């Protein structure tokens, strides 16, 4: 298949592009490079011996996207592009809604104009909000607790309404838990610009000396050690889930929602200690205030993805932090030369 990957130069995007190329798909990447580097795609080319075509286009450039879709005629889209920092979203809501929601509406219009009607969308477990019941199943009502989460919720609403209005659309909503790790080669990985907003990249930057200490946002949650518990998933497992979801909707049509997580939860301090073991040193941390919009505990029921897609996460937390460390230590400044 010929597949357009928005945000394909980013963290999850680049790992997915790699798996798509290895599986024999033709890949076109569309990315504005706001929080990513084209270098990731050069390395994907090195690793696979195949090239993804690259276009620097922004989701807010509605006309540019239309032209691109008419020119490239992709058969399907995997839509990663978007803003993703919970804290930032609380202070800049209009920017988040515009980029994520209006951006996706522009993308869907471009797809429709080019008669490309298959999309795999990067949703997030954050749409679940703070339900009492765990694990999280796809049946739980959405109730995001942050602006970022609400942008994901809104896009899901849009795609559900679109699917209900026109059965020729094939739609997969993938609710990611917390992607960590890197390709086992250590050549591609997460390279956030500025201060990392996610736990493991922050720990990794502490481990290479780019940050002094880890800020742990709250240790008074009702969890094993008071720190927030999350379901972490290896980015290569996550990438694999996208390929399986795309295959499924291409064959079966319709709209489907799948959790992509391991089903296991680890606390911030448990992840920190696992990383310390992987890198062989103690890593300093400080307890600071909770972040607005964060919930105490969140882990997936990944059984739908297993049942429908035959997919389950293959890599455990040790592998995740080992691979993340492997990437970070050989690329202490990410993709920067």
Respond yes or no: is residue 148 known to be catalytic. yes
In the complex, the smallest distance separating the C-beta of residue 99 from a second copy, rounded to whole angstroms, is: 10
CA distances from 159 to 2, 113, 143, 253, 302 (A): 21, 16, 17, 14, 21
Q: Is the peptide bond before 18 cis (omega within 30 degrees of 0)?
A: no
Contact by Cβ (8 Å): 35, 9? no
Site for a second copy contains 164 (CB under 8 A): yes
Comparing CB distances to a second copy, the nearer of 150 and 175 is 150
Least separation, in Å, of the C-beta of 113 and a second copy? Answer: 11
Reduced to 3 states (helix: H, G, I; strand: E, B; else coil), residue 289 is coil
Residue 250 binds to a second copy (criterion: CB under 8 A): no
33 contacts a second copy (rule: CB under 8 A): no
Residue 140 touching a second copy (CB under 8 A): no
* Site string (90-119) toward a second copy, x via CB under 8 A: xxxxx--xx--xx--x--xx--x-------
Q: Does 79 bind a second copy (CB under 8 A)?
A: no
DSSP 178-238: EEE---TTSSS----SSS--SHHHHHHHHHTTSSS-EEEE-S-SSSSSSS-EE-EEEHHHH
State the catalytic residue, choosing from 11, 96, 128, 148: 148
Number of residues that bind a second copy (CB under 8 A): 23
Q: Is 220 in the site for a second copy (CB under 8 A)?
A: no
Residue from the set 71, 130, 157, 220 that interacts with a second copy by CB under 8 A: 157
CA angle 209–316–23, rounded 5-degree value: 100
Using CB atoms within 10 Å of the CB of residue 84, give its burial: 0 to 12 exposed, 13 to 18 middle, 19+ buried. Answer: buried
Interface residues toward a second copy, by CB under 8 A: 89-94, 97-98, 101-102, 105, 108-109, 112, 147, 150, 154, 157-158, 161-162, 164-165
């Amino acid at each position: 298949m010929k597949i357009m990957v928005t945000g394909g130069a980013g963290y999850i995007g680049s790992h997915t592009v790699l798996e798509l190329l290895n599986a024999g798909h033709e890949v076109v990447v569309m990315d504005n490079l706001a929080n990513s580097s084209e270098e990731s795609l050069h390395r994907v080319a090195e690793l696979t011996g195949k090239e993804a075509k690259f276009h620097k286009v922004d989701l807010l450039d509605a006309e540019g996207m239309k032209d691109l879709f008419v020119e490239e005629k992709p058969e399907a889209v995997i839509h990663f592009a978007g803003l993703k920092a919970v804290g930032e979203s609380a202070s800049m809501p209009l920017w988040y809604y515009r980029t994520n929601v209006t951006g996706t509406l522009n993308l869907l219009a471009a797809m429709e104009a080019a008669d490309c009607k298959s999309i795999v969308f990067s949703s997030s477990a954050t749409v679940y909000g703070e339900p009492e019941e765990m694990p999280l199943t796809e049946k739980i009502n959405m109730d995001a607790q942050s602006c970022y989460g609400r942008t994901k919720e809104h896009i899901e609403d849009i795609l559900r309404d679109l699917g209900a209005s026109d059965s020729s659309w094939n739609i997969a909503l993938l609710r990611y838990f917390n992607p960590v790790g890197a390709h086992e080669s250590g050549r591609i990985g997460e390279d956030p610009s500025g201060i990392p907003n996610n736990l493991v990249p922050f720990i990794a930057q502490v481990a290479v000396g780019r940050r002094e200490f880890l800020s742990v946002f709250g240790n008074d949650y009702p969890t094993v050690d008071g720190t927030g518990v999350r379901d972490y998933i290896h980015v290569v497992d996550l990438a694999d889930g996208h390929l399986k979801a795309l295959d499924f909707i291409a064959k079966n049509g319709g709209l489907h929602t799948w959790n992509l997580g391991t089903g296991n939860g680890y606390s911030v301090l448990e992840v920190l200690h696992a990383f310390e073991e992987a890198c062989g040193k103690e890593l300093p941390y400080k307890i600071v205030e909770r972040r607005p919009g964060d919930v105490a505990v969140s882990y997936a029921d990944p059984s739908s993805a297993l049942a429908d897609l035959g997919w389950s996460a293959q890599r455990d937390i040790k592998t995740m932090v080992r691979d993340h460390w492997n990437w970070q230590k050989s690329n202490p400044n990410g993709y920067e030369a």
